[in-house]
Every structure is written in C-alpha cells, then in structure tokens.
Amino acid sequence: MGSINLDNTGSGGTITLSSDGTSLLLDGSAVGGGGGGVTGFTSADNTSSPNDTVNIASLSVDSSTTNAGAAIVTKGTGAFMLGIPDSGTTGGNVRGSSAVDLGIYRTNANQVASGTESILLGNRMRASGTEAIAIGKNSYANGTRSMAVGYDSNCHASDSINMMAGGSGSPGQYGIAIGPGSKTGIRGCSVNRGRAVTSSAFSRGGYVQALQTAECEYWGKTTDATTATISSEGLNQSNSEAHYLSMVPDGLYFYQQQFCYMSAKLVANDDTNSLIRVWDLSAAFRIADDGTVTQVGSTSKSVINSEGTALNSTDVDISIANQYLKLDVTGVASTNIHWTAWIKLHMNRYA
C-alpha cells in the first residue's frame, strides 16, 4: 500500500508518494524518483499584514511570458467547485455534471450547484435545475434553465427569471419577475414599478398603498363577422396566463381588496379594403380577497379614428373569465382584419 510522507524541514514542504517514488515540491520542482511536478506556479504563505490575522496561501502563475492565464481543467463531465462534497453544510452535496459551483458557505447541504451544467455564484444558494443559474445570496434556481438573481429570489418554473422579486415572487414558466413582490404567471412579465406610500389622512391611522402596472399586447386575425377573442398568442386561445392578462397573477390573493383600472387602444386594420379603425377602451374592476373579479360600472368605449364605412359594423367588448382579461372582437364578412390591442392594468390595494 502506498504511503504519504510529509517533510517540512526544508525550504518548502514535499509530498512523497512512496508507492511509485514520485515526489512533488510545492514550488514546482520535482525531487526523488524523477516524477513530474506542478509547473508554472509559485506557492506562498502570506502571513504579513494585512494577512497576519487570517493568512493567505497562494499559487501565483510563474510563466516566461509577460501575460499568462491560469486554468483548472476538470476531467470529462466533472464539476468545478470550491469545496469537497461531504453531504453536510461544510462541503455540501455532490455537484451536477459539468456544473460550476463558486459557493463557500451554506446552511444546508443542498445549497450547491446540483443540476447538470448549472452555475452557482454566491453563498446559501441552490442551482438544482438543469442549466440553471443562481447568483447572489439565499436564492434558488430550481427550474430547468431558470435564473435567480439577487437576495432570496426563487425560480421554480422552467425557463423563468427572478431578479430581486423575493421568495414569494417566483414567476411561472417563461415568466420574468423583477423587483420586490413581483409575481407573474406563464409567459408573463411583472415589474414592480410602484412605491409604498404612507398617508396619515385616513381616520384609522394610515394605510400603505401598493401599486402595480401590467402591460400586454393582444392580437389576432378575423376573416368573417363571427365574434372571436384576441390574445397575446393570437385568436381564440385557452384560458391561461400564457394568453391573457391575469388580474390575480398565478393565483396570488390578498387579504385586502384590490382595485384595478384597465385602459387600452385597439386597432382594426382592414387589409382587404386598406382601411383602419381605432378604439379607446377603459374599465374598472374590484378583486375580492378570494380572487373574485367584478367589473365596477360599464366599459367606456369610443371610436377615435375611422376610415370609410366598411368597418362601421366592427365592435369590441371586454370580458373576465377565471380572472383573465379578454377582448372579444367582431369583424366583417369576407374581410381580412388584423386586430392589435395595447393594454395596461393599473392595480392598487391597501394593506
């Protein structure tokens, strides 16, 4: 059986592998048995100030060229990491194939880059999804190709991005959540551009008002006078966040009622007769604490631009289905009409 002999009596420590006679001197030269050494580097133990309290051991590149890079090359699909897995909080669990893990502190063994080809940069992080990326602190990228950036930003769905939205702000598949408390469903984008406003004008001592804005573009093409529904994915799609704006993103309910104001511009482009018609729409809604959406009053709808008479019979209506905002359009027989709507939802609530 081979043994390891440590000799620290010389100017540099040597490690002798007696099984084959190979010896390595940490300064890069080889001794005994003629074995290969670690070349291209110079080792040092930096103990003087400011490193006298916490010493720094270093390997510096020693090359003949003025500029020289350094590489630590793994073998096969081995991962690159800054600790040896020990299934505990010190070394963490085993890393994924071809993963890159640059975390050095964890409070749970699973806070590592365990996903295949995942990347982790920061402490108390988790990149368990395949090709997932986690950057920051205490953020988890668990979905396939998900990305979690910042503090306490979690991504559980695949192909999603969470940037500083917090642990409860996880987006749905193909979704993007940016900013504290932002949350979105499938293929949605939520950006918390609002602000917390404290007021003492209320008799109960002041409320905190939370403001959010959601935007989306609906489109679709009709060829007859049959009423159809346009969405972000085209005509007559299913009830899903992938296709309609949700007034309660991803089932997120509030313990106080929420209010929502919708405004939209709708364009009907008649490419059969080369004509155009434009509507201005607005409506208000109340969202109960159980997520029920109720329209307040009637929809304001007006034609602000129109060419000719061929589009006079076209129409648009607003409807709510399972918390999703829909636009139902009515075209003209034997006429190709391209519909495009730019919609904004302005939401606020008192907490």
The residue with greater pLDDT, 180 or 351, is: 180
For residue 210, is pLDDT > 80? no
Per-residue b/e over 199-230, b at no fewer than 16 CB within 10 Å?
eeeeeeeebeebebebebebbbebeeeeebbb
Q: What is the pLDDT of residues 135-174, one digit of tens each?
A: 999 999 999 999 999 988 888 889 989 888 776 556 778 7
User: Once rounded to an integer, what is the mean pLDDT over residues 108-121?
Assistant: 97
| Cα-trace Rg, the chain | 31
Name the average pLDDT for the chain: 80
Over residues 116-124, the mean pLDDT reads 96
| CATH class in words for 208-350 | mainly beta
pLDDT tier, 119 (very low <50, low <70, confident <90, very high otherwise): very high
* Model confidence band, residue 212 (pLDDT cutoffs 50, 70, 90): low
Q: Which CATH number fits domain 74-192: 3.40.640.10, 3.40.1280.10, 2.150.10.10, 3.30.70.1140?
A: 2.150.10.10
Percent of the chain with pLDDT over 70: 74
pLDDT digits (tens, 9 = 90+) for 231-268: 888 899 887 655 788 776 544 444 456 788 999 999 99
Q: Is 340 exposed, middle or buried (0-12, 13-18, 19+ CB in 10 A)?
A: middle
Q: Which residue has the higher pLDDT, 336 or 152?
A: 336
Residue 251 sits at φ, ψ, to 5 deg, of: 75, 20
Least confident of 16-30, 39-53, 102-116: 16-30
- Residue 76 confidence (pLDDT): 97
What is the average pLDDT across 323-336? 93
**pLDDT recorded at residue 305:** 95
Q: What is the pLDDT of residues 255-308, one digit of tens each?
A: 456 788 999 999 999 999 999 999 999 999 988 877 788 999 999 999 999 999
- Which pLDDT band, with edges at 50, 70 and 90, does 30 fall under? very low
Asked whether the predicted pLDDT for residue 112 surpasses 80, the reply is yes
Degrees, nearest 5: CA angle 68-74-80: 95
Evaluate if residue 100 carries a pLDDT over 60: yes
Mean pLDDT of all residues in 320-337: 92
Output the pLDDT for position 148: 92
**Closest C-alpha to 339, from 174, 202, 196, 219:** 219
Distance between CA 170 and CA 183 in Å, rounded?
A: 6
Three-state SS sequence of the chain: CCCEEEECCCCCCEEEECCCCEEEECCCCEECCCCCCCCCEEEEEECCCCCCCCCEEEEEECCCCCCCCCCCCCCCCCCEECCCCCCCCCCCCCCCCCCEECCCCCCCCCCCCCCCCCEEEEECCEECCCCCEEEEECCEECCCCCEEEEECCEECCCCCEEECCCHHHCCCCCCEEECCCCCCCCCCEEECCCCCEECCCCCCCCCEEEEEEEEEEEEEEECCCCCEEEECCEECCCCCCCCCEECCHHHCCCCCCEEEEEEEEEEEEECCCCEEEEEEEEEEEEECCCCCEEEEEEEEEEEEEECCCCCCCCEEEEEEECCEEEEEEECCCCCCEEEEEEEEEEEEEEC
Q: Where are the domains of the chain?
A: 4-61, 74-192, 208-350
